[in-house]
Amino acid sequence: MKNKYPTEVLREEKRYPITVIHLISFTALFKITTFSLTDNPDGQLAAPRRPSWGRNFLKKLIAIWPQLSRKISQHVFDQPDTFSLIPVKNAFIIPGGRFKEFYYWDSYWILKGLLLSDMKETAKGIIDNFIYMVSTYGFVPNGGRIYYLNRSQPPVLTLMMKDYVQYTNDFVFLAKRIDVLEKELQFWLKKRVTKVVKDGESYHLAHFDSESDTPRPESYLEDLETCSVYNTTEQQHECYTDLKSGAESGWDFTSRWIFDYEGEPDTDLTKISTRRNIPVDLNAFLYKSFRQMQYFYLILRRHDEAKYWQDKAEEWKINIEKVLYNTEDGIWYDYDLKLNKPRRHFAASNFAPLWANAIDEDLKKERGQNAARYLKKYGILEFHGIPSTLFTSGLQWDFPNAWSPYQNIVIFGLERSGDQEAQSIAKALAHKWVQSNMRAFDENKVMFEKYNSLISGQFGGGGEYHIQSGFGWTNGSIMELIDYYFRVKSRKHRPIYD
Q: How far is CA 195 from the centre of its chain?
A: 25
Selecting among 163, 242, 252, 415, the annotated active-site residue is 252
Q: How far is CA 83 from the centre of its chain?
A: 27
Q: What is the largest CA-CA distance in the chain?
A: 66
Give me the torsion for CA of 260, 266, 268, 274, rounded to 10°. Answer: 80
- Those residues whose C-beta lies under 8 Å from the C-beta of residue 147, and which sit 6 or more positions away, are 84, 216, 217, 218
Q: Would you say 399 and 346 are in contact if contact means Cβ atoms under 8 Å apart?
A: no
Q: Is 197 helix (H, G, I), strand (E, B) or coil?
A: strand
Measured between alpha carbons, how far is 370 from 388 in angstroms, rounded to an integer? Answer: 19
| CB neighbour class for 146 (10 Å; exposed up to 12, middle 13-18, buried from 19) | middle
Phi, psi of 103 (to 5 degrees): -125, 145
- Those residues whose C-beta lies under 8 Å from the C-beta of residue 104, and which sit 6 or more positions away, are 130, 140, 141, 142, 143, 152, 153, 154, 156, 157
| CB neighbour class for 183 (10 Å; exposed up to 12, middle 13-18, buried from 19) | middle
From residue 124, give the alpha-carbon distance in Å to each of 70, 115, 265, 475: 15, 10, 40, 18
Residue 276 neighbours by CB distance under 10 Å: 20
Q: Would you say 358 and 284 are in contact if contact means Cβ atoms under 8 Å apart?
A: yes
Phi, psi of 234 (to 5 degrees): -60, -45
H helices present in 263-377, as ranges: 280-299, 303-319, 352-356, 364-377
The torsion region of residue 293 among left (phi > 0), alpha (psi -120 to 50) and beta comes to: alpha
Annotation marks residue 252 as catalytic: yes
DSSP state of 487: B
Annotation marks residue 421 as catalytic: no
- Residue 332 one-letter amino acid: W
Residue 201 neighbours by CB distance under 10 Å: 9
Selecting among 336, 449, 480, 483, the annotated active-site residue is 449
Encode 82-121: b = buried (16+ Cβ within 10 Å), e = exposed. ebebbbbebbbbbbbbbbbbbbbbbbbbbbbbbbbbbbee
Q: Report, in this order, helix, strand and coil percent for the chain, each rounded to 5.
A: 55, 10, 35
Q: Would you say 130 and 107 are in contact if contact means Cβ atoms under 8 Å apart?
A: yes
Question: Which residues carry out catalysis?
Answer: 252, 449
